[in-house]
Amino acid sequence: MDIEIIKKHIDDVLVETNFTNLGKKKIGKVRDIYVAKNTVTLISTDRHSSFDRIIAHVPFKGEVLNQISLFWFDKTKDIIENHVFGTPDPNVVVAKKCTPLPIECVVRGYITGVTSTSLWTHYKEGKRNFGNFVLPEGIKKNQKLPEPVFTPTTKSEDHDRPITPDEIVSEGLLSLELTQEIERVAKTLFKRGQEIALEQGWLLVDTKYEFGLDQEGKLILIDEIHTPDSSRYWKAESYDERFNDEQEPEYFDKEFLRLWFKDNCDPYKDKTLPKAPTHLIAELSRRYIEIYETITGKPFNHDLSQPTKERVAKNLKNKL
């Protein structure tokens, strides 16, 4: 989609929803979640979260993220059943109600990162044994690992805590059999994602999966999969040259919006944030659309004839 078209529709954003007939409402960072007896309705809004708060609303972002997830759910349904029942609107998924597991399943195909919990930070500080895998000497930052590694974390309101599969079992969070199964499935999903992404010119660097158990106790893939919000993507074409020159890879970049807020306010402390410039919001929207189109191989066809909020309300009324 042309950026000038995006600018014309810069205010067509889905900020929030308030449906009374879909079940009990829960508000996530990006999605509004309605929990009914047997189903969960997940509505992807255009909220953009950073600094533990909403910093902007990005046109078409919710639709893009939802459609990318649906693409990947379809491409991996032979590996594991997912929670999708139906999609009455481009921003909406009606899902099977499951009990989420208390673990975020993180899989990494490359050693990278700058945070205190990143694989590269630990490796740089001398750590080699990570519990369920051991890394050899001589690995460089951003290098591809011999095999994808499973680095789960706990779920916490404050900060997720890295945890090994042995600790998951010893702390009584999951059984040994279930822990082994989610590691096997997560790695299989990741390898499928890497294969398909590479065909479209992207390297799937790392990602996180969420699993749940349905009412029969069956393991189900839930939440989202391989979106640019839950995954790190690098451009494949330039990776080798940049790695050999010790340059950072080209990546799907939304950091520029965070940097603008850091330059223009204190996003952690200021009660009210300034409004980001239109051209930055439009550019971020364009980048989300670009990654959707390159990963799926399909053009992004948004219905510009009606406001997104009206369309969502109409589709949910007609199809649920």
pLDDT, one tens digit per residue, over 51-102 is 989 999 999 999 999 999 999 999 999 999 999 999 999 999 999 999 999 9
Contacts of 311 (CB under 8 A, 6+ apart): 89, 303
| Predicted confidence band of residue 158 (pLDDT cuts 50, 70, 90) | low
The answer on pLDDT for 151 being more than 90 is: yes
Domain that holds residue 139: 100-244
Reduced 3-state DSSP string for 96-131: ECCEECCEEEEEEEECCCCCCCCHHHHHHCCCCECC
Mean pLDDT, range 292-301, rounded to an integer: 96
List the CATH number of the domain containing 299: 3.30.200.20
Determine, yes or no, domain membership for 260: no
Give Cα 3 distance to the centre of its chain. 24
With respect to residue 258, please indicate whether it lies within any of the assigned structural domains.
no
Question: If you average pLDDT over every residue of the chain, what do you get?
Answer: 95
- Count up the domains in the chain and report the number: 2
Q: Is the dihedral of CA 297, 193, 48, 32 positive or negative?
A: positive
* Within a domain: 257: no
Pair (41, 56) in one structural domain = yes
Same domain, 121 and 227: yes
107 and 231 fall within a common domain: yes
Q: What is the pLDDT of residues 266-284, one digit of tens each?
A: 999 999 999 999 999 999 9
Taking a C-beta distance cutoff of 8 angstroms, is the pair 194, 144 a contact?
no
Give the β-pairing of 84-89 and 53-57: unpaired
The three-class DSSP label of residue 140 is coil
Q: Tell me, what's the pLDDT at 20?
A: 92
Closest CA to 41 of 77, 90, 81, 92: 92
Confidence category of residue 174, pLDDT binned at 50, 70, 90: very high
